[in-house]
Every structure is written in structure tokens, then in C-alpha cells.
Structure 1
Amino acid sequence: MNNVLVEMRQLFVQYLQTEKNYSSLTIEHYVNDLEHFFVFLHKEGVTTVEEVDDIHARLYLVQLHQEKYARASVSRKVSSLRSFFAFLNREELRLTNPMSYVLHPKKEGRLPHFFYENELEQLFLACEGTEPLNIRNKAILELLYATGIRVNECTTIQLRDIDLTMSTLLVKGKGKKERYVPFGGFAQDAIKIYVDKSRPLLLKELQHTSLFVNHQGKPLTARGIRHILTKLVENTTLTASIHPHMLRHTFATHLLNNGADLRTVQELLGHAHLSSTQLYTHVTKEHLRKTYNSFHPRA
């Protein structure tokens, strides 16, 4: 990669870290998008950002479609590049933003998948048992469903972040933003049993304060949680695949289905914009429509 482009990328990364306070995962996505674009520029013989124009932007969009990227991926890459060139404009490293001429492709209108209550019961039954890993898995499942936290937020929980007396969790979210989320009695009991009985056995001789640990006693990773949930589904009669975000979707959908107001759900989820939470109102409306069509005599 051209040294000038590498320098520009590094300046942009510093901006995302210090001024935007983006998480390492978010920054990684930006870097990957930039590197993919820089490879394209290299093939086009472009060596500096000053040379990039709206024609290059359109050609890049054509390449993305030829490589059969999903609309959501194309949308994210365009957004990343717009932010990059906007940063260069601000720093007076170039005067225009070539990505502003590119139409932002709309994301596919997919509704988030969630579990029905009877499906959740199967998951909870799948992690019943007295073995330390069973106890840990139940605590993870209860907490994810009780709070709607992201899987990355779950892996960063420290023992001091859990208040079992007040049944609240301090969550460190995106952009280093913190929020307190309450949880109910089922999650409280599962976590208390895990912390008192299971975690010390799994921890062995290691000493750290991460709440959830793997079978080696090390802090549990996001990949580890995904593996745990996949194995739980395999021990049920459920046919759908699972990803941790489904529990977050389920948390929000069940709250709205049972009468929670949108602003409260927004705060619990840690959404910066209400529009992100409003997606779940479409889920609940779709659920109502299907129920109506299934049971009304003249539907």
C-alpha cells in the first residue's frame, strides 16, 4: 500500500479513537473498508487521495456490485468512505468528497429475528444441569435475555459491574458510553449461583475480575459465547440457527409486545437514535398481523 495512503489512514484512525471514541471493533470495520478501497485505487493507478474523483467512486461501486456484495455491505463501505473523505476535508487535505456523488444504497428491509417464549424455554432447558459449564451457560443466557446487551458488552463485564443487591448491571457500550440496565429475579439467581459455585471452579488458579470465563479459566470471548449458544440450539428441537443478537432482538420485541414504551426500550438497548429502536415496532406489528390472520374468522 502507498505510504501516503497509509499515513492518511492512520490519521483517520486516530480521529476515530480520540474524537469519536469508537470501539476497536468499529474501527476495524472502517480500516477494512479503507484497505479494500485502497486496493481498488492501486489497480486504477491512483497513488494519492487528491487524485480520487467521482468517476473513481462510481467505478468502485460497480466493482462492489460485480463482487456481489450485499446491499448492507455496500452501504457500510460507502458510509465509511464518506466519513474518511469528510475527515480529509476537515483537515484541509483535500477540498471535495467524491463519495458524496455516490447514491447510498438502501439496506435490505429485513426484520430482526427473535425467539418466541416457547422457543426460549427450550434454550433454558438445554442448559439445565449441575456441571460448572451448565451453570455458567444458564447465567449467560439469562443475562443476555434479561438485559438485551450486545455480546461484546457481555464479554467486558467485570465482577464489580454487577450489583446483585439492586439487580442492576453497568454496561460499557459503543463509543465508551456507559448505562445501567436492570435485570430480573431469574437472571439474578442464575448469576449468583454461577459466581458462588461455578466461576471459582472454572477459574482454577487464574486471578482476574472478568465475570464470564471459559473452561480454561480465561475471560470468555465473543466467539466463545457464539459457540455456547450454537451448542445450546443443537440440544433443542429448534431448527433456526442462532446468533447472540437474536437474544437482543427478543428482549426488545418481548418488552414492546408487553406494553413497554419505545423511549424506555431505547435507553435499555443503549441506542443513540430512536430510529434504531423503532425497527422493533415493525416486528411487533408483523407479529400482530400474523396472529390476526391466523385466528380471526374473517381475516
Structure 2
Amino acid sequence: MTIKKTQTGWQVNIQPGGRSGKRVKKTFASKAEALSWERYIRAKVQLEPEWAPVKKDQRRLTDLVDLWHRHHGSGLRDGESRKRILIAMCAAMGDPYAERFAADEFAEYRLKRIEKGITQNTMNREQAYLRAVFNENIRLGHWKKENPLTKLRSFKIQERELSYLTHSQIKTLLASLEKVGCRDVVHITKICLATGARWGEAEELRISQIRNGLIQFVQTKSSKARAVPITEDLETELIQHHEKVSPTERLFQSSYEAFREGIRLAKLLLPRGQLTHILRHTFASHFMMNGGNILTLQRILGHHSLAMTIRYAHLSPDHLQEAKRLNPLAQLNER
């Protein structure tokens, strides 16, 4: 019974939204009033959804990844590879219900991965990928709750000193690459050293991107095109190379493994995780050591923020030179 007689009057006790819905109670002096109020409440449920019980969200983490990829990720340059990583992450965590997924589940997954030898840098990247899935679904209206990874802090990575090649090492490397027997590897390497381009950006160049003393990089990590000047000699060398070996617009074939072999022949010891990227660091380091401007370097490298470029500032000849004359010992000696 939803209406019953009590000592104080006629009591209405109902859950108009169903067994899991909101329960309301109210007592009236007469049964007629109680019946009238009950009809009013039941009608109100049809108009105001908050009276109805909250439906359980049966979607899994992979469902949110699919939504993210369909509406956003498919437009990213690395969208497909990022989706594969995300699906593998979900599978490793047991593909939990998205509604029940919490930060501690990812923290536990992260710990197990690190115990298996995965780097903290890689885990920070995976965390950023999954956090972005929730953020994008929130923006699109596909996820109404908070992002469960918002408050989970990433690992703080100790910044490593950026390594670069000296002039003698560059000569040794180019000589070793000539012996590898790859038609394109030397030219790709020269482009990276002359422009600070990433290996993939240089390797995928088309002849139409080289003109008027400039190389126009289009397929970039930041998705922003940038143009970098090159010398007339290098431009002529690249055009002649294209005319000689390539019948298509594309200048080069894949030469990554040839570069690895060249590094081995040159007997160069590179920091862990750096292979072709040493060329980009070498360009930036020499640019600053020769008196280049940090803001110009930011534009050449295509960094979104100056924080990425400022790592090379200490190589500038004038970097923190005030320390020599403004320190207290120097001033004491002057006096």
C-alpha cells in the first residue's frame, strides 16, 4: 500500500521512479488529499528525470576508447598507433566498466608495468593517452562524470643532459654512412643536421617541399608546417639526388636501419633512447653555441612552448655570464 492510515492522518509512502528511485513520504489530514498528492508526484516523475533511478553505465574502457577514436583520434597523425596502445592497456587492466574505473586501478597497472622494466617516461605517456580519452569524451558529451585520472600525478622525470655530436664526430659519422651502402641515408642525415628536422620528417620529404632555398616540413609532430632555410649547395645536392635515383615525388626510401649501422661503424656511444634524435639535438646545440637566438630556435624546431627549447639555453656563449661579475666573491675582490 502506498497510502495508509496512521495516528496522525493519511500517509503517502512511494517510490515513483521505481525500486531504485527516490522515496517520498508525506502525511495528510484526509485520504482525498493523499490520493491527489500521490497522482501529482507520479505525474511529476514523467517530467523531471532526476526522480527516476540512475541507470547503470554498462560501457567498458574500450568503448570509450572507440568513441574517442571515432570522433577525435582518427584525425590525429598517430591516432591508429595510439588506439592500439590504449586497447592493449585496457586489456591488461581487464577492460573494467568505465563507470567503476578509478585512479588506483591505473596506479596498480602502472606499478606492475614498471616492475617488468617499462620506463617511467612510457608510463607517463600511457597515462596522458588515457586521461585524454576521458577529457575528449567529456568535451563531446559522451561522459558525464569526472575524469578518474585528473588527480593522479605523473612520475617526475629527472631531466637528463642532452647529448650532441662534435664536429669531428659528425665527420666520422658521415664517412661511416657512406660505407653502409644505402643510397639515401647520408642525404637524410645532412637534412637533419642542417635543419633540426626529426628523422621521419626528413625521410618523408617530397621534392616539391624543397624550393627557393627552403625546406617546407608539412607532416610534423606538432601538425604545424614550418619552413627552414638551407644552403644553395645542399639544395642543389638534394635536387640532383632526386633526379638521379627517384622517379616519384618522394625523395627517399626508409633508411633508419642504415643509420643505426652507420652509428655502429662510427663507434659512437649514444645515450639510451637516442638514435636519429641525436641529429636534432646536435643541430640545436650547435645553433645555441654559435650565438643563435632561443626564440628563433623554437620556431625552427617547431616546439609548441618555449619550455621545450629552453633546455638548450645553457649552451649559449652568454648564458648566465653575469654570474662571474655579480657574485659576492668577485665584488669583494673588486673592493
TM range (shorter): 0.7 to 0.9
Q: Deviations over 1:210-268 (max 9, x none)?
A: 111xxxxxxx23xxx22121222333353448611110110111001101111111111
Q: Confirm or deny: 8 A CA contact 2:285 2:312 kept in the other structure.
A: yes
> Which residue number corresponds to residue 249 of structure 2?
209
Q: Which amino acid aligns with 1:236?
A: A
Is there any run of 5+ residues in structure 1 with no aligned partner, and where? 213-219, 290-299
Query: Which one of 99, 124, 127 corresponds to residue 174 of structure 2?
Result: 124
Q: State yes or no: 1:16 paired with 2:72.
A: yes
Query: Which one of 168, 171, 174 corresponds to residue 214 of structure 2?
Result: 168
Percent sequence identity is 20
> Which residue number corresponds to residue 143 of structure 2?
93
Query: Residues 196 and 132 (structure 1 numbering): CA distance in 2 closer, same or farther, change over 3 Å?
Result: farther
Q: State yes or no: 1:190 paired with 2:237.
A: yes
Q: Confirm or deny: 8 A CA contact 2:177 2:259 kept in the other structure.
A: no
> Which residue number corresponds to residue 323 of structure 2?
none
Question: Aligned-pair distance for 1:84?
Answer: 1.3
Q: Confirm or deny: 8 A CA contact 1:226 1:243 kept in the other structure.
A: no
CA distance, structure 1, for counterparts of residue 232 and residue 137 of structure 2: 51
Q: Confirm or deny: 8 A CA contact 2:205 2:250 kept in the other structure.
A: yes
Question: Aligned-pair distance for 1:161?
Answer: 0.7
Aligned residues: 258
Q: Which amino acid aligns with 1:35?
A: I
TM-score (norm 1): 0.76
Q: What is the alpha-carbon root mean square deviation over aligned residues? A: 2.9
Query: Which one of 188, 193, 206 corresponds to residue 145 of structure 1?
Result: 193
> Which residue number corresponds to residue 260 of structure 2?
230
Highest relative contact order (Cα 8 Å, sep 6+), 1 or 2?
Answer: 1
CA distance, structure 1, for counterparts of residue 300 and residue 197 of structure 2: 8
**Based on CA coordinates, which of the two structures has the bigger radius of gyration?**
2
Query: Residues 55 and 236 (structure 1 numbering): CA distance in 2 closer, same or farther, change over 3 Å?
Result: closer
CA distance, structure 2, for counterparts of residue 147 and residue 236 of structure 1: 22
> Which residue number corresponds to residue 41 of structure 1?
93
Q: Which amino acid aligns with 2:121?
A: A
More helix by share: 1
> Which residue number corresponds to residue 156 of structure 1?
204
> Which residue number corresponds to residue 30 of structure 1?
82
Is there any run of 5+ residues in structure 2 with no aligned partner, and where? 1-57, 321-335
> Which residue number corresponds to residue 77 of structure 1?
126
Question: Aligned-pair distance for 1:28?
Answer: 4.2
TM-score (norm 2): 0.68
> Which residue number corresponds to residue 60 of structure 1?
109
Question: Aligned-pair distance for 1:80?
Answer: 1.3
